[in-house]
């Protein structure tokens, strides 16, 4: 039997590529009995193209515009309690302001670069912003200080299951209420 919803606060899962944002968000949604929206999946449905295809065809600036627009819609709608965003969404100041302005809690899934790179390499999806290890590592280094601005930090290690990470996130959220 699903748990009762234990938070009315929206939770936005942020972090670098390969940290498990989507998987953890879905697990957290099951745990808290909340609707989950994965922003990249929503963009793909709305645009009939993946974020990678949009970046390749229209450029990163256009993708970020679409991402910000949909983030605003999802936050405003309020049905989704848990929102997984792409790795770059949190790096945009206007998105951080939008999230804070809605009273949402940003949760940073913090994994070291080696784990992220291992998962990026093993994944099936094309990552135009991580075409090489060097580019990905540079981007990781640039984004890390911005991820640190999140309300909550949850460390992710290779041995953690999505369920264990979701439990850590839920505990942190409940502790803050």
What the block records as the tokens of 56 is 């390749």
Rounded CA-CA distance 135/128 in Å is 10
Report the length, in residues, of the chain: 177
**pTM score, whole prediction:** 0.89
Share the mean pLDDT of the chain: 87
- At residue 58, the pLDDT reads 93
For the chain, give every domain's residue range. 11-176
Higher pLDDT, 127 or 91: 91
Confidence of residue 5 (pLDDT cuts 50, 70, 90): very low
**54-107 pLDDT, tens per residue?**
988 998 889 999 999 999 999 988 777 899 998 889 999 999 999 999 999 999
Q: Kindly report the CATH class assigned to 11-176.
A: alpha beta
* Position 110 pLDDT exceeds 60: yes
For the beta carbon of residue 59, count every other beta carbon within 10 angstroms: 11
Q: Which of 75, 3, 73, 13 is nearest to 34 (CA)?
A: 3
């Amino acid at each position: 039997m699903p748990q009762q919803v234990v938070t009315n606060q929206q939770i936005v899962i942020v972090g670098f590529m390969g940290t498990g944002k989507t998987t953890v968000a879905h697990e957290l949604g099951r745990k808290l009995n909340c609707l989950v929206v994965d922003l990249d999946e929503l963009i793909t449905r709305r645009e009939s193209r993946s974020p990678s295809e949009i970046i390749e065809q229209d450029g990163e600036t256009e993708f970020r515009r679409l991402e910000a627009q949909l983030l605003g819609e999802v936050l405003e709608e309020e049905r989704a309690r848990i929102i997984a965003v792409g790795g770059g969404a949190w790096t945009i100041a206007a998105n951080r302001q939008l999230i804070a302005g809605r009273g949402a809690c940003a949760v940073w899934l913090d994994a070291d670069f080696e784990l992220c790179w291992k998962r990026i390499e093993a994944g099936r999806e094309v990552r135009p912003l991580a075409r090489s290890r060097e580019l990905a590592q540079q981007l990781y280094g640039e984004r890390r200080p911005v991820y640190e601005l999140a309300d909550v930090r949850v460390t992710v290690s290779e041995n953690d299951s999505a369920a264990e990470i979701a439990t850590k996130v839920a505990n942190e959220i409940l502790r803050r209420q």
